[in-house]
Chain A
């Protein structure tokens, strides 16, 4: 029987986990009364479903449909004028959802807020490009890497992968070494599909050594000309080592004198 491997998450997994292992959690703190973050949560009002402080930054969970309004409030009334990062996390295998986060920065207070929302597979998110121009590239990257559509984006196109690429690489279902399409991409594009046989499949095994390959591997003691056919076996070619005179410096310098 072949070993069962789950298809919905093909990323790296620990080969052994203790039966009684329970992962601890990074402490989440309540938002302190009177702090800057408390004002932010107050300004958001009922839009903030859940809010806590994790490792010095405020995390606010919101509804995905309200993302534009929330970011607008944060920008205009709380001073979060820079969106330093936004991206997504794939939870399709577990919850059938994507988690999106916006990382915002308040320059004058030197505070950071992370706005988190979740969308179902196939749902689209509203673009925040009118608020933060940096979202232009970031949202294109989300679309490219996860296939999440962004409504009202000025130019939603693949950004990192080629336009004719198939699949969205950062999904958990996408293997790290790529699928069939990815492995033949450059050959198909440059030479055409008919050259697949000529060029051959990719070597994804970094430790692979071809016993009969005389073009890329030298064989110490069995040297043959470049590209020679050795499927019939090769002749031994004894190695000539240069002679080393061992000198015992502790005893006498006689040997040294002889060499001089």
Chain B
């Protein structure tokens, strides 16, 4: 222990007195580039990281415990707070898991709207990624530009569901609302804008930027084998040359009907992953553009018809006695899915977001496990940070695109 007095103050972050000439520094949990509440304990030899120990749990809120104490519909708004950058992807993953358990399917219009919202959220999340990643690496202007476009996407979300960040825009069995008038046109103009900005702002500023390339190339290299073993999914896996996208391989919703490509990068480094994110935004725009004409061709039904589990539409509740009774029971007691267990993976912007639900036939889930992509990407940090320089630590944290709401849950 240090002798603390006025002349030798106590540095709680630094422990100088070590026998082996290495220095231990503490990074976080409050650090502007830690993407939330990541705490890293790094052992340094000069500037090189010898050992990295990610300490998580600073945002543990007991969401899985809450799931055991809430009915299925009650829990839905809580899923917003998992990956709060793309809330709808969480709502959707949860709703899909429950729907699989119930054995119901959302009507076609709801599916179109859901897919639209999912892809819009993917764009929001990727814009956020590029904003914060560039800010961490030192490109402040990209942050401002990316947030400008992100606000337009948030406006669209707000027009649809009224919330900017925590959407709750998907319900079990469908969506609560139809698209407001003129929304589709706004979406089309937003798509054009994103396409333009990706090419003329972000890529123009970054792709050939000397500093950006020096900071990102050959930084955070993950081999395909390591990526699989560490449970990497999404862009982290595809950035290592493994072409696996749940939207393509295990299609859900309308993805089997849509025409889009899965970008893959063989570079295995942060720069390759940055290129991947840019390409994915283009693909999302492509999906959105295909969805716009599909929307017009659908029937107006928004919620699945399953009176045992899902309340009837408002008009029926107000006019038919039996629908009102069902609604009363579903609201006061909650739906009772059949006994069984289900694990449903979906491709969230960060990677594979899956919900494991164990139901015992009660209105409360017996066990709900959220498989969060960021949790496993954080685990990966303890291996890929070793041997890198301390200046690259921030780049590597940025490239993993972790969100602490879903790491700690």
Contact = CB atoms under 8 A, between A and B. Distances in A.
B342 A55 contact: yes
5 contacts: A12-B71, A55-B344, A83-B231, A134-B229, A172-B68
A55 B354 CA distance: 14
Given A54-B342, A134-B230, A170-B65, 9 more contacts: A12-B68, A13-B362, A23-B339, A59-B341, A84-B231, A103-B354, A133-B229, A134-B229, A172-B68
Interface string B213-226: 00000000000001
A107 B354 contact: no
Nearest to B378: A137
B383 A26 contact: no
B26 interface: no
Contacts of B360: 23
Contacts of A176: 62, 65-66, 68-69
A89 B356 CA distance: 11
Given A11-B68, A26-B339, A133-B226, A82 B231 contact: yes
B193 interface: no
B340 A54 contact: yes
**Binding site of A, secondary structure by majority: helix, strand, loop or mixed?**
loop
Interface stretch (B286-294, B366-374, B393-401): B366-374
Interface in A8-24: 11-16, 21, 23-24
A84 B352 contact: yes
B138 interface: no
A90 interface: yes
Contact of B64 (A84, A110, A159, A170): A170
Interface of A: 11-16, 21, 23-26, 28, 54-55, 57, 59, 81-85, 87, 89-90, 101, 103, 107, 110, 112, 114, 132-134, 136-138, 145, 158-162, 169-170, 172, 174, 176
Contacts of B60: 160-161
Contact of B244 (A107, A159, A160, A172): A107
Given A25-B340, A176-B66, A14 B363 contact: yes
Interface of B: 56-57, 60, 62, 64-66, 68-71, 100-101, 103, 226, 228-231, 233, 242, 244, 249-250, 333-334, 336, 338-345, 352, 354, 356, 358-364, 366-367, 369, 371, 375-376, 378-379, 382-383, 408-409
B69 A24 contact: no
A158 B409 CA distance: 15
B229 A110 contact: no
B354 A84 contact: yes
Given A24-B339, A136-B379, A176-B66, A14 B362 contact: yes
Given A84-B354, A160-B57, A160-B408, A26 B101 contact: yes
Given A23-B361, A85-B371, A170-B65, A137 B376 contact: yes
A107 B408 contact: no
Given A87-B356, A159-B57, A176-B69, A16 B333 contact: yes
A103 B356 contact: yes
B228 A82 contact: yes
A169 B57 CA distance: 13
A103 B57 contact: no
A81 B228 contact: yes
Nearest to A83: B231
A233 to B, nearest CB: 40
A227 to B, nearest CB: 31
B56 A160 contact: yes
Contact of A107 (B228, B376, B378, B409): B228
A23 B249 contact: no
Contacts of B359: 26
Contact of A14 (B62, B103, B343, B364): B364
Contact of A12 (B70, B339, B345, B371): B70
A176 B352 CA distance: 28
A110 to B, nearest CB: 4
A133 B333 contact: no
Contacts of B340: 25-26, 28, 54-55
A161 B342 CA distance: 27
A134 B379 contact: yes
A186 to B, nearest CB: 13
Contacts of A136: 379, 382
A161 B345 contact: no
A128 B364 CA distance: 31
B298 to A, nearest CB: 26
Nearest to B372: A85
Nearest to A174: B65
A137 B375 contact: yes
A114 to B, nearest CB: 6
A159 B338 contact: no
Contacts of B338: 23-26
B333 A15 contact: yes
Q: Which of B333, B341, B383 has the most CB of A within 10 A?
A: B341
B17 to A, nearest CB: 23
Contacts of A24: 338-339, 361
The 4 closest A-B pairs by CB, nearest first: A23-B361, A26-B340, A134-B231, A160-B57
